[in-house]
Chains A and B, each alone.
Chain A
Amino acid sequence: MTRPTRIANRISALRTNAGQMSQAELAARVGVTRQTVNAIEGEKYSPSLEVAFKISRVFDVPLEDVFQYPDLRDRP
């Protein structure tokens, strides 16, 4: 039922750069629970596009600066 998500992210680093923003503060600004931010950051849950965009706007960076998806065409 569960398989590892391939979507990586830099949320932890971005929070640190944003004045040690807490997961709870990010969660409140995005409109999800702190546990969901924790799951996204730990790459246990891939957020919806809407939440992904909201996160990138909190840090004022493009979406791909927050989330990265590997190019599978490079793999054998």
Chain B
Amino acid sequence: MSNILYTAGQFLHPESDGHMTFQEKSTLAMTGIVVLVYGWYFTLVIGEIAGSPDREVAYQGLMVPVVILLVILAAAAHAVIAVTAPSQAGVEDERDRLIGLRGQRIARYVLATGTVAGLGLAMGRADTFWIAQVLLGTLVTAEIAEGTTRLVLYRARSLT
């Protein structure tokens, strides 16, 4: 895992010294996990479950393994990150906090847009199945947008 993160850092910004902070590794791991787990969820839901007559029950049932998978993968990833660099585990400084805030600002726009889309569907009396997918999709997209923004800012030429 540590080597993968080092290589990812070099790929993202070859001029850097390649070493990532705990927070940057955590962001990279969590963004990857969210993309993988929810990619699997939406592939199933949009691909197969949407056409099923009992889709309301099916997608709610799928939420349980999704949450369990997220928790297990997140815990495993953070355990590996912490073990490979114990002195950095959980460390966060002012640059990490600034980058985090910038990421949250981008995520806020995604959340606002998705919420309006969800409201539009509700006012148009759309099926609750699709309203739920739009709202969940909004949360996931906001999380990915925040993570991606943070990863870009960690490797940016300037952060002012």
Contact = CB atoms under 8 A, between A and B. Distances in A.
Contacts of A44: 156-159
Nearest to B149: A1
Nearest to A44: B158
Interface residues of B, number: 19
Interface in B10-35: 17, 19-22, 24
Given A33-B21, A33-B88, A38-B17, A45 B157 contact: no
B3 interface: no
B88 to A, nearest CB: 7
Interface string B87-110: 010010111100000100000000
Contacts of A22: none
Nearest to A34: B19
A44 B160 CA distance: 8
Nearest to B20: A35
Given A1-B102, A2-B153, A45-B95, A35 B158 contact: no
Interface in A1-47: 1-5, 31-36, 38-39, 43-47
Contacts of B96: 33, 36
A67 to B, nearest CB: 14
Given A1-B102, A38-B17, A31 B93 contact: yes
Contacts of B21: 33, 35-36
A17 B89 CA distance: 31
B157 A2 contact: yes
Interface of B: 17, 19-22, 24, 88, 91, 93-96, 102, 153, 156-160
| Ranked 8 nearest A-B pairs via Cβ | A32-B93, A36-B95, A2-B156, A45-B159, A2-B158, A5-B160, A35-B21, A4-B158
22 contacts: A1-B102, A1-B153, A1-B156, A2-B153, A2-B156, A4-B158, A5-B158, A32-B94, A33-B21, A33-B88, A33-B91, A34-B19, A35-B19, A35-B20, A35-B24, A36-B21, A38-B17, A39-B159, A43-B158, A44-B157, A46-B160, A51-B94
